[in-house]
Structure 1
Amino acid sequence: MALFRETADVSVRPAVPGDESAVTDVQVAAWRATGVLGEGVIEALDVPAMRERWADAIGSPPGPGFAVFVALEGPDVVGFAAVSPGQVLSLEVLPRAQRAGHGSRLLAAAVDRLRTDGADTVTTWALADDSARAAFLGSSGLGEDGRTRTLATGPREIVEHRWSAQI
């Protein structure tokens, strides 16, 4: 006999030391899946250094208003969001777990944190060619605000657009 639950075993919680490997794996997998960065950029990533930076961000945030949240399916980390004062620095979900509400739950947790810290707006950056992220942000109430920036990644330059909303 199969056991069914009325609700899925999904949640969002603050990241804790030990989550850094899963957060790094989610970030690399999500970046690879978009195809926007290009395989040269992905292959040039220093994954051990990324893991160390996430360990620092989780265990010793650089100041007030910085936090990392993880999305869970059962015990497995399937996504994360990182915030700084007024900004969602990063929000990624494993490709296999996308379109299951994890991104929305992570964004809600991030916005709740920003409000708690006194912010009245939220901003984030999205790659110019990432149409899936643009659709997600737009459906979440954020809009492009006309600001752009160009990041030098080594193999090529990446253009991002800023998205924002009142919260």
Structure 2
Amino acid sequence: MSTAAVRAAVATDAAEIARIQRVTWRTAFADLLGEQALAQLEATAEQQWAEAIAHPATTVHIAAEGTFTVGFCVAGPAPEEEVALASGKLPEDAARTGLIATILVEPRWGRRGHGGRLLAEAAASLRHNGAERGITWVAESDSASLSFFRRAGWRPDGTIRTLDTGQRRVREVRLTGQLEIELVG
């Protein structure tokens, strides 16, 4: 049996993270995003991931099974525009709120606990850096991701935004939850 682990990404992981994102978006989100967004991802993903890994305020976490990189998660302080209330006002805990910017596990490696390990490690990292709660944005139609976060105790907070992919509009709901995440079984 292979060993599953989570670690912080390094610069040489950018290409593999980009590959996982391309595969996952094409498999799970092609209809949601449209071909234009997928083509743009093909052109820019590796460079964007190299920049994300190097960014001092965020941590990109890698999930591995044996020698294979199977997923990733990005976590850091929540920017004001991400944590603001629908009115634009900042909540009292804005400075103590972390953002899970993305979490993806390549579909062929799904249902093996990698997503839970990534979220738990990202949450621990956010807590270590002073965050007391977390937020994330999930496409309203992404039932798998919504269920994943609900199982971790995260719930919609009533805030919705719409993203324009160039071909489609994607409605996202903001979820919020505690950063004390325990893996079960």
TM-score, structure 2 as length reference: 0.80
Match of 1:32 among 26, 31, 48: 26
CA–CA separation in structure 2 for the residues paired with 1:43 and 1:147: 26
Match of 2:76 among 84, 87, 99: 84
TM-score, structure 1 as length reference: 0.89
Which residue matches 1:158? 170
Cα root mean square deviation, aligned: 1.4
Structure richer in helix, relative to its length: 2
1:9 to partner: Cα distance: 1.2
- Are the equivalent residues in 1 in contact too, given 2:3–2:66 (CA < 8 A)? yes
CA–CA separation in structure 1 for the residues paired with 2:32 and 2:124: 30
CA–CA separation in structure 1 for the residues paired with 2:164 and 2:39: 13
CA–CA separation in structure 1 for the residues paired with 2:75 and 2:178: 16
CA–CA separation in structure 2 for the residues paired with 1:69 and 1:132: 20
Which residue matches 2:60? 68
1:46 to partner: Cα distance: 3.5
1:10 to partner: Cα distance: 0.9
Structure 1 stretches of 4+ with a deviation exceeding 3 A read none
- Are the equivalent residues in 1 in contact too, given 2:63–2:118 (CA < 8 A)? yes
Match of 1:148 among 139, 144, 160: 160
- Are the equivalent residues in 2 in contact too, given 1:28–1:42 (CA < 8 A)? no
Q: What one-letter code is carried by the residue in structure 2 that aligns with 1:75?
A: T
CA–CA separation in structure 2 for the residues paired with 1:41 and 1:27: 15
Query: Does the residue aligned with 1:19 lie in a helix, a strand or coil?
Result: helix
Q: Structure 1 residues 37, 68: CA separation in 2 closer, same or farther (over 3 Å shift)?
A: same
CA–CA separation in structure 1 for the residues paired with 2:34 and 2:146: 21
CA–CA separation in structure 1 for the residues paired with 2:26 and 2:36: 9
Unaligned runs of 5+ in 1: none
Match of 1:12 among 6, 13, 28: 6
CA–CA separation in structure 2 for the residues paired with 1:125 and 1:144: 9
Which residue matches 2:15? 21
Match of 2:146 among 109, 113, 134: 134
CA–CA separation in structure 2 for the residues paired with 1:71 and 1:166: 21
Tell me how many residue pairs correspond in the alignment.
158
CA–CA separation in structure 2 for the residues paired with 1:15 and 1:43: 23
- Within a 5 Å distance, the mapping from 1:46-61 to structure 2 comes to 46-58=41-53, 60-61=54-55
For each residue in 1:62-101, what CA deviation from the matched residue of structure 2 results, as whole angstroms up to 9, or x when unmatched?
x43x110000011111100001211000100000001100
